[in-house]
Structure 1
Amino acid sequence: MGISRFQVMAVLQAARAYLSGLPIESAKSWGLNRAIFYAAAKKGFKKTGIVKRSIKIEEEKKEIEGKFKVFHLGDEMAYAVEKEGKLFFTIGNEIQTDKDFERQIEKRFGERFENVWNEAIEILKKYDEGVLKSQRYFFETIYKPRRDELVKKWG
């Protein structure tokens, strides 16, 4: 399993959310959620082929009923739910958890993930809060110019 722009986006978005104050579990959820969102946007919001979680959606809907909310990270908005006291993000009928991030993103990097995570944090620390809180500036200034370089470096 190789590293693609999808994994790079997920890691950078998770690091962005973490540096913006989200707990690590929620930051990982945000990272995976945003990677899925951008991949779907690029492909016209068709199915992404992401492996569905084993818990049935109907069971999760009952569990989170009344906890659905809109969350803003700067000017970027995502739908979220509170589950087991933690904030997780959703797209479609899927909840992206920190465990999903670990399975779909971290696992691809194997033992290298800690170094990748630390590098992502260091990259983002070079930018002011205005860039981190702007969807457009994050994409255009941080992600887009280095995405292919990071695919090669982290792969």
Structure 2
Amino acid sequence: MTSFDSLLDQYRSLSDSERTKGSYFEQLVKQFLLTDGVHAPQHRNVWLWNDWPDRNGQADLGIDLVAEREDGGTTAIQCKFYSRGHKIQKSEIDSFMANSGKKEFTHRLVVDTTGVDWSPNAEASRSAWWGSISRSPRPPCSGCPQDSRQNGLSASDTELP
């Protein structure tokens, strides 16, 4: 077991609900995006959904984080803290896919802890909606290799047409 797996296990044991567990993971992803050598230079700011200044009172509809990009764009980010081996289903990303398609978002990123491919329907839906979406099949962590591509993150998000 890696130190990162131990951290995730601690989050699981400290959490009294799925919501709390998800909040811990969202904060971890936020900090990673702000400090990682590959991602940090791409972002001016990263907010939890409820802290995003342009939210305009909208409820959480599947977007967990929002990142203001150095290139002027805005990234909608979905964080999925599931058990290793869980196959993400289409129904688990539908809300994110629909709500991140709004004009204010130029990029999309999904970070999940499953370590496996999404279900065939989720993958097909992802392609049908808007081509490819950036995905981290292994979340970021402190103490991971400096090159974030080694733990599943690509150097940039997918730009939308």
State the TM-score, normalizing by the size of structure 1: 0.31
Q: Which fold has the larger relative contact order, with Cα–Cα distance below 8 Å and residues 6 or more apart in sequence?
A: 1
More helix by share: 1
State the TM-score, normalizing by the size of structure 2: 0.30
